[in-house]
Chain A
Amino acid sequence: MSARRASVVGASLLALTVGACGEIDQTVKSEKIYAGKKDVRAADGAAFGGDKKKWEATLVERSKTQNEYLRTDVKK
């Protein structure tokens, strides 16, 4: 094998081996911005009149009723 052929083969192998090292990130990076109508917060309805803390407390209390250990008053 001539020196020239060997160098061509060597260069090709090197290119193949390190080819992926310089790969460009192909992930699309775009900021998604909501384009629709503005929504009203749940706490801003007629029932709570914008009192977010009262709304949150009501929901937490209601969530706790799903715990039957509390409902049946079984101490665990």
Chain B
Amino acid sequence: MARMKFICDAERCIECNGCVTACKSEHEVPWGVNRRRLVTVNDGKPGERSISVACMHCTDAPCMAVCPVDCFYKTEEGVVLHDKDLCIGCGYCFYACPFGAPQFPQAGAFGLRGKMDKCTFCAGGPEENNTEAEFKKYGRNRLAEGKLPACAEMCSTKALLAGDGEVIATIYKQRVQTRRKGEEVWGWAQAYKMDARIAPLGAKS
């Protein structure tokens, strides 16, 4: 069975914001909400790296653990989704998430927060697949169409990989063994409780 994961290859990301734009456009995400964003470390210094960050759909998701109304669930493929009809916009998930993934639209005056919005791995939410209701609340359900998340498919350098964990790990492994550097996968240790080096240098494929 497929276990959906993201890999961001920091050696390849050129900070073009193509993934961010693809996500915003695909799901018609409202102004002020960024399901995916780019983080640059060591900006302007030697060793500068950019990483595309969104919900990593963690194995043991902290957002699920802290939600007071239990609106989170995990699909068979390991995608963490939530029911917006149940969400009260408390923001606990935002504080629990190590990736800063949960987003809250400014729904009114005086800093009033709307219901939480986050990356769905382009898998929609708890509505009938590919319906108007699902699109309005959660965005397009590309997985039900047999497609991968728009961010990864749009990535020009293929720094962002999405799909079955085993398949994308194999792709990454081949890359590392070819270029002989950049073996650490950002975020994997935190999200999937795995060794961040899925492709140790020198290992035979």
Q: Which residues of A contact B (CB under 8 A)?
A: 32-48, 55-56, 58-60, 62-64, 66-69, 76
In contact, B129 and A62 (Cβ under 8 angstroms) = no
6 A-B pairs (CB sep. < 8 Å): A36-B71, A36-B73, A63-B148, A66-B168, A67-B171, A76-B178
Residue of A nearest to B65 (CB): A32
A59-B146, A66-B158, A67-B171 are known contacts. Are A35 and B125 too (CB-CB below 8 A)? no
Query: A43: which B residues are within 8 A, CB to CB?
Result: 144
Query: A63: which B residues are within 8 A, CB to CB?
Result: 148, 161-164, 167-168, 171
In contact, A60 and B164 (Cβ under 8 angstroms) = yes
In contact, B148 and A42 (Cβ under 8 angstroms) = no
| Bound-state Cα–Cα, A59 to B164, Å | 8
Query: B143: which A residues are within 8 A, CB to CB?
Result: 42, 59
In contact, B174 and A67 (Cβ under 8 angstroms) = yes
A46-B130, A66-B161 are known contacts. Are A59 and B70 too (CB-CB below 8 A)? no
**Shortest distance in angstroms between B155's beta carbon and chain A's nearest beta carbon?**
8
Complex partner residue of A35 from B77, B86, B145, CB under 8 angstroms = B86
Q: Which residues of B contact A (CB under 8 A)?
A: 1-2, 64-65, 67, 69-73, 75-77, 81-83, 85-86, 123, 125-130, 141, 143-148, 152, 158, 161-164, 167-168, 171, 174, 177-178
Query: B67: which A residues are within 8 A, CB to CB?
Result: 32
Complex partner residue of A36 from B1, B86, B141, B167, CB under 8 angstroms = B86
Query: B174: which A residues are within 8 A, CB to CB?
Result: 67, 69, 76
The prevalent SS among residues of A at the interface is loop
**Known interface pairs A32-B67, A37-B85; 6 further A-B residue pairs with C-beta atoms within 8 A, sorted by A's residue number:** A32-B70, A35-B71, A42-B143, A62-B147, A63-B167, A66-B171
Query: B85: which A residues are within 8 A, CB to CB?
Result: 36-37
| Bound-state Cα–Cα, A60 to B4, Å | 11
Q: How many A-B residue pairs have CB under 8 A?
A: 107
**Shortest distance in angstroms between A23's beta carbon and chain B's nearest beta carbon?**
22
| Bound-state Cα–Cα, A33 to B158, Å | 37
Complex partner residue of A45 from B69, B77, B141, B177, CB under 8 angstroms = B141
Q: Which 6 A-B pairs have the closest CB atoms?
A: A36-B83, A63-B163, A45-B144, A45-B129, A34-B73, A58-B146
| Bound-state Cα–Cα, A47 to B167, Å | 23
Complex partner residue of B163 from A32, A48, A59, CB under 8 angstroms = A59
| Bound-state Cα–Cα, A44 to B136, Å | 20
Query: B72: which A residues are within 8 A, CB to CB?
Result: 32, 34
| Bound-state Cα–Cα, A42 to B149, Å | 13
In contact, B163 and A66 (Cβ under 8 angstroms) = yes
